[in-house]
Structure 1
């Protein structure tokens, strides 16, 4: 799966969690860019992504994420295992 495919697929998760159908995330989007993106929202994102892609992230992996691009790369890495 390509980066742009993953981004397109996860877009609705971010829109749902932040209750904003106009929200568009890019690889460069980070928590500081989205109102209400706190640790609780982060947990919701992780759980929704794990459910969607049937994968499991390690806590140490999640702690390294700085932006959505890092999340996309992690998803692709898990899918390629």
Structure 2
């Protein structure tokens, strides 16, 4: 199982790349409502970048249940691996 702080460290880079800014504070409570530019296209970019970074493939059912970043972090912690 990967520690949440290590997952968050990788997500900081993903969010910086996706949103082209580095002021987004990563937390388990973060959701699309908290970031003005977070639309459906950005959501797909976050999912794809996270799948690639952590070597995990989210199922459709898992994607339907994602309401906060913490929901995704839990899945990554259980099934993912840290990037090399």
TM-score by length of 2: 0.87
The corresponding residue for 2:4 is: 3
Show the counterpart of 2:73.
72
> Distance in 1 between the 2:13 and 2:36 partners?
16
Q: Secondary structure at the match of 1:36?
A: coil
Structure 1 position 16, deviation (Å): 1.2
Shift of 1:76: 1.0
Q: How many residues align?
A: 80
Alignment of 1:31-46 (within 5 A): 31-46=32-47
How far the C-alpha of 1:25 sits from its partner, in A, is 1.4
Runs of at least 4 residues off by over 4 Å: none
Query: Any stretches of 5+ residues in structure 2 without a counterpart?
Result: none
**Cα-to-partner distance string for 1:17-46 (whole Å, 9 max, x where unaligned):** 111112221111110000111111111011
Q: Could you state the TM-score of these two structures normalised by the residue count of structure 1? A: 0.90
Structure 1 position 79, deviation (Å): 2.6
**Is the partner of 1:8 in helix, strand or coil?**
helix
Which runs of 5 or more residues in structure 1 are unaligned?
A: none
